[in-house]
Amino acid sequence: MDVIGRFCKIYTDICQISPDDLEHIYADDILFIDPITTHHGIDEVKRYFSNLLTQAESCKFDIADIFTCSPNGTEEHPSSHSKVTHIANWTMTLTLKDSDKQITLDGTTQLGVSDDSIIYHKDYYDLGEMVYEHVPILGFVVKKIKGKLAK
């Protein structure tokens, strides 16, 4: 199974893996970016996932599509010499411990693969939908603002 297959398998439910399993898909010098923060290196990514695993009851990704990018020289990331080689579209379903509420979120991930390892991972999703809308008063305000902007 290639690294994209292993990526899909690990992200089926990341609460069923150990942080050490991430070494099977990510390179030692992985650059992992999401709307919250940036992690440099496998050790930082493993710490990030360790923290998530202490807070989440379940975190499943339904990966709808994975597209292979054609090299055209324009996808180069400024802080690495990797190119984006794959785009994954997904829906995440997250259940936090001590909560029966599920958070469902659509997103996209850019991946850079080299030597059967992921060297670049960048997530795109609506942080407001994931976090802010679930804080009681703030969530009400964010939803009202979104509603007004949608008109």
Query: Tell me, what amino acid is at 138?
Result: L
Burial 52-89 (b: 16+ CB within 10 A, else e): ebeebeebbbebeebeeeeeeeebebeeeebbbbbbbe
Rounded average pLDDT over 74-82: 48
With a cut of 80, say whether residue 82 has pLDDT above it: no
Look at residue 149 in the predicted model and tell me its pLDDT.
53
pLDDT band at residue 95 using 50, 70 and 90 as cut-offs = confident
What domains can be seen in the chain, in order of their start residue? 3-150 (3.10.450.50)
- pTM score, whole prediction: 0.80
pLDDT digits (tens, 9 = 90+) for 16-46: 999 999 999 999 999 999 988 899 999 999 9
Phi/psi of residue 97, each to 5°? -65, 150
For CA atoms 65, 131, 46, 44, give the dihedral sign: positive
- Calpha distance 4→37 (Å, rounded): 23
pLDDT digits (tens, 9 = 90+) for 43-74: 999 999 998 888 889 999 999 999 999 766 55
